[in-house]
A and B are shown apart, each in its own frame.
Chain A
Amino acid sequence: MNRGPSWFNIVSMVVGFAFLYLPIVLLVIYSFNAGRNVAVWEGWSTRWYVELMSNDQLLAAAWVTIRVALLSATIATILGTMAALALVRGGLFYGRSLFSGMVYAPLVMPDVITGLSLLLLFVAVGFSRGFWTITMAHITFSMCFVAVVVQSRLISFDKSLEEAAMDLGAPPMKAFFAVTLPIIAPAVAAGWMLAFTLSLDDLVIASFTTGPGATTLPIKIYSAVRLGVSPEINAVCTILIGIVTIGVIAASLSMKRKEVRRRRDERMAAAANAA
């Protein structure tokens, strides 16, 4: 009956993927262009990558970005996980549904508004803007994403596991770290990854909350491009794409490996029981 994908399906798939990936492929190819003019192909070369290595400004921006992303993702994961725990486990405290709803608000809030409001706050409080204000801003908005991811895992978490740990003599904190956390770890890790990438590619909020001496890579690229696209920028982007791709592939491979191992274990158990 099923005669495989129809022509229509094939065409729409090709068009869809082309739309998604053609610009990226172009960017990657042009990062290896020997000439300076981004619109004219002049042969293969890794020249721009070499030049990139001596572009201190760009490297500094990359370093700032990575530090902000690592720090904000880690703190956001801790705070977001705590928020999720409070929302799922806190019992029916007063105003809980209001809080649950409010966790979602920053997810749909336009970045411009988040950025602007944070800027106003920092100005009002009198913080000098720079590395720490960007980090704080990123913690604020990525924490909500972490909370949502972890919350959905916690809802399906069998609470009797934690009770069993306490029943066996573990105080609540110990029970959390010995039992709950290892079990929800994949969700927490996914939350961290999400927070990390959100921070990595944020332009809008970072530009609102940044100050002198703390230029992130997206800000740097954006301002560089406004002066004209340079092949160096293509090279930076290609490296970023490479990192993200490797990350995604590694994550999905390890998930797949775990899944395969689990299946094999279950088959073994079934066989052992049948015998």
Chain B
Amino acid sequence: MAKQALGPIRRSFAPWDDPEAKPLIHFRGVTKRYGDFTAVDGIDLPIYEREFHALLGPSGCGKTTLMRMLAGFEEPTEGDVLLDGASLKGVPPYRRPVNMMFQSYALFPHMSVEKNVAFGLKQDGMAKSEIADRVAEMLTLVRLQDFAKRKPHQLSGGQRQRVALARSLAKKPRVLLLDEPLGALDKKLREATQFELTDLQVDLGMTFLIVTHDQEEAMTVADRIAVMDQGVIRQVATPAEIYEQPASRYVADFIGDINILEGRLEKGANGISRLVVPEDGLVVETDQPVESDAQNAWYAIRPEKLRVSLDQPADIAVNTVSGEIWDIAYLGDVSIYHVKLDNGTIMRATTANTTRLVERPISWDDRVWLTWDRNAGVVLTS
């Protein structure tokens, strides 16, 4: 019930659009070099209070390094990390009001679950009875109250993950850092935990920064995603924006499946522009405003935005191509069609299987038409 009440609040949560809002964390021109290798290259990234922010990128792109600079385990070579507007330069990890949940969980093997959770509170010199209360509260939060006396090696992977979460939440940090927190869990548990994490974040009203290389995970949990590539941020936006309006081919390709056509852009009248694929004169129309005329560009369109039909559509003026079914993948909920266009390009189209198809009407080698709306895809210039 409570979740529903929070729905509209969350939807209107967009401090990054507010020029007055002060970020809680601010990476300012942060660069990290190891010798002559640049792991993080001049990153500017504000993260706001109560935001669930995801750092997404392929392995080795510098996500962990960026996070460790916030936790205090690495110092930036250049630039600065600000918390509440104050520089964290020279502040050791044990004095920063951020806590981290490690990729390997890093549970203390010689301490019981409750001792693990109590560890951080003890360092603060909290009273014994208060510690006991907080530990109990945290263990209830992650549903491990019956496991307080167990040692980490007596727990399953999922339980260990929850102990690590409870331990890093116990001190109520300003920011919780999660480094691939769900990497070691199986798919089902991972998905369930993703939703638990978002609920937890909303209920506690805390700021979470998560590192992941799983785009679905980032889309599920995050308010905003920073897509990273080789030490730089390619785009920072909400999951929907990243998916629907990727800023570059790299982002478009990294998130989900997409068809990309390369051609020349021609600015047209009435705000409608055309992208002409030179070899075969394939013309794509778009109502996206474009800046310059006659430049090289790409048109990116998601497979589910394409309509597949066996009959030639009546109105063939706009965005219609034909081809043969080259391959079909039936995934149960959706079918993926690989359509070989007459010029040899393969386009992927997905359709939801809304009816129970005993016999699929579309079959191999069928001639099909693909159509899409003017606003279904995006024009990319990089």
* A-to-B contact residues, CB < 8 Å: 158, 160-161, 163-171, 174-175, 178-179, 182-183, 262, 265-266, 268-270, 273
Look across to chain A and name the residue whose beta carbon is closest to the beta carbon of B117.
A168
| B23 beta carbon closer than 8 Å to chain A | no
B69-98 contacts to A (CB < 8 Å):
71-73, 92-95, 98
Look across to chain B and name the residue whose beta carbon is closest to the beta carbon of A265.
B154
A179-B108 CB under 8 A given contacts A168-B119, A168-B167? yes
Whether B108 lies near A165 (C-beta < 8 A) is yes
Whether B110 lies near A182 (C-beta < 8 A) is yes
Interface size on B, residues (CB 8 A): 31
CA distance A179 to B116 in the complex (A): 11
B97-141 contacts to A (CB < 8 Å):
98-100, 102-104, 106, 108-110, 119-120, 123-124
Q: Which of B71, B110, B120 contacts A183 (CB 8 A)?
A: B110
The DSSP consensus for interface residues of chain A is: helix
8 A-B interface contacts by CB (under 8 A)? A158-B104, A163-B106, A168-B94, A168-B119, A171-B92, A183-B108, A266-B153, A273-B156
- With a cutoff of 8 Å between Cβ atoms, the chain A residues found around residue B352 in the complex are none
A262-B104 CB under 8 A given contacts A170-B94, A174-B123? no
CA distance A164 to B102 in the complex (A): 8
A160-B156 CB under 8 A given contacts A168-B99, A168-B123, A183-B110? no
- With a cutoff of 8 Å between Cβ atoms, the chain A residues found around residue B159 in the complex are 273
A171-B108 CB under 8 A given contacts A165-B119, A269-B154? no
Further pairs besides A167-B71, A167-B72, A178-B119: 7, Cβ < 8 Å: A161-B108, A163-B102, A164-B167, A165-B108, A168-B119, A183-B110, A269-B156
Whether B73 lies near A266 (C-beta < 8 A) is no
- What distance in Å separates the Cβ of A170 from its nearest Cβ neighbour in chain B? 5
Pairs A-B, 6 closest by C-beta atoms? A169-B123, A168-B120, A164-B106, A160-B106, A269-B154, A273-B156
- With a cutoff of 8 Å between Cβ atoms, the chain B residues found around residue A165 in the complex are 108, 119
Whether B108 lies near A169 (C-beta < 8 A) is no
- With a cutoff of 8 Å between Cβ atoms, the chain B residues found around residue A273 in the complex are 156, 159
CA distance A14 to B23 in the complex (A): 77
- What distance in Å separates the Cβ of A16 from its nearest Cβ neighbour in chain B? 38
- With a cutoff of 8 Å between Cβ atoms, the chain A residues found around residue B103 in the complex are 160
Interface centre among A158, A164, A179, A265 (most CB of B within 10 A): A164
CA distance A182 to B119 in the complex (A): 14
- What distance in Å separates the Cβ of A129 from its nearest Cβ neighbour in chain B? 43
| B151 beta carbon closer than 8 Å to chain A | yes
